[in-house]
Structure 1
Amino acid sequence: MRAITIREPGGPDVLAWTEVRDPEPGPGEVLLDVAATAVNRADLLQRQGHYPPPKGTSDVLGLECSGTVAVLGDGVTDWRVGDEVCALLAGGGYAERVVVPAAQLLPLPEGVDLVTAASLPEVACTVWSNVVMLAGLTSGETFLVHGGAGGIGTHAIQVAKALGARVAVTAGSAERLARCAELGADVLVNYREQDFVAEVGRADVVLDNMGAAYLDRNVDVLAPDGRLVIIGMQGGVKAELNIGKLLAKRASVSATGLRFRPVDGPSGKGRVVAEVREHVWPMIASGRVKPVVHDVMPIERAADAHRALEGSGVFGKLVLTV
């Protein structure tokens, strides 16, 4: 088969569409013919040599895809050859074929086509596992998401509104904030010009992609019993944490990721996928949550897609068709 490979760590030009060995499904796994995949910031880090895949998994980029079931591994009974699905991956999506644990497959959401569905698994599983399963966001609470114009941010706005929360976002321009407002955001903060602590007031749940750079202010913005969940390190990896502030607010700070979780277990990817299917897919079917796709490109233009995401003009997700 063909896949996007990395000649050596570096810029987008190191990506190449080349022939690689076909994967084979093991017990409990499924082989998919890939229709489309999507670009995530983790892909950029892996291309640069900073985010290697979990041991024993594909070293091909791509944390999600959509496609058609081609082969069933031993013990798989819930799916059939020919089923159209989307999937959460540990890697391997930038390819013509990929192997995925059956527990990480999802049917296409009602009303979503096969290509667009590739944009959903990573954002849906990231948002649900962190904002709801971990932080416990409920109706009437205030939710702050940093990077509201990104793939995770655009999805998180809609899910939080569907849950009945007041939603605050940060973004880097008036235009991007206006589009966040169209998705339901109530409080709009231009991080280049405004202090989100002053603008938001108090947030019960904060979903943060910045890490060190925002840590102290994120703790400041937390309401009593507030929950800060860190899912990215775009602003660095080390910062000082004022434990006294946390104690005074009875607040908590968590840092989590999806890629290195096991398939099984109470926090495993299988459970996350099952909850997304049960709770988020009906939101999509009803129109309360919609996929936000900035552009669709052929997989051969993966380097162009990486350049675009490294810039500041992408709103939502970039999808690559295979």
Structure 2
Amino acid sequence: MSARPSRIHGGPDGLGVPLHDFSTNSNACGPCPAALAAVQQADATRYPDAGYTALRARLAAFHGVDEARVLLAASASEFIFRVTALAAGQGVRTVWLPPLSYGDYAQAAAAHGLATVNKPGDAQLLWACEPSSPLGAAQESLSALADGRQTLLVLDRAYEPLRLSAVPTLTSRQFNTTWQLWTPNKALGLTGVRAAYAIAPLGQEGSAAALEQLCPSWPVGAHGEAMLQAWAGHKAQDWLAASLKTLREWKTRQITVCESLGWRCLPSEANFFCAQPALPQGLGLQEALAALRAQGIKLRDTTSFGLSGHVRLGVQPPAVQDALHNAWQQLRQTNS
């Protein structure tokens, strides 16, 4: 019997919910009051409309696209596997992944027998993410990818709502040539509510319909439907805009805290960044992270993204930053 595939992610783990959690990129100002209220008031005694008629119309209006281009998904991960299944069913045999990227892209490709190639021009399915994860930076060569002749380019926009600096690389015209994957639960501070949606490229309504055929009924439950409805409303968007100002201030402070510990922080445009810790004498990174986790502090090891020797830190409030600072100082003293 084969072993269960490893799922590496931030957030709660076998030790429970971390007291101070830097390992996820959820909006630390959350939860968004309007979205939380909508979720709490959702009617879970009934099925959602199987066609998500009102929700699709609301999301289409929010993005200024035709309703036929909007697809609901149980989560980003679910859509990653579903669009990979569609590609494989259409004869796609090769995939290109960003050098540093979320593990589900590769897992989905492996599950459907797609070979990973090193050059985008050799691939029929391409993945991109901007702001990228784990770096929170611009996706390298994204404009060229969008202008290419590849069969399928999927742009993961999970962190676009949490962009703290710079602007998107692609133009409106280029966005219309890509699949866009949106997961608002991060921006709303409600990552436990699993719901996402995708926008098909202009003129790809046939592929959108094919993806609908691969989807089971009701991929999004009543609570996810309520969250997405709230997401497209002005109350949630106004709250999000205000939260970005706070996150910028917290991020500046958090980088200062990390640098005071001797850590090397990498550039980032989002509400998270990567850093290379200055490890205490005699400790490896895994040992140091385990020691922090024992004190209720969790950081995300970026090895699974392809970036070894570094951690990814979601921006947290000052009190949580101070807890990390103090715990790391204690770790250094203990191992000096």
Task: Report the structure, 1 or 2, having the larger strand content.
Answer: 1
Give the alignment's TM-score, normalised by structure 1: 0.35
Task: Report the structure, 1 or 2, having the larger helix content.
Answer: 2
Structure of higher CA gyration radius? 2
Give the alignment's TM-score, normalised by structure 2: 0.34
Q: Which has the higher contact order (CA 8 A, sep 6+)?
A: 2
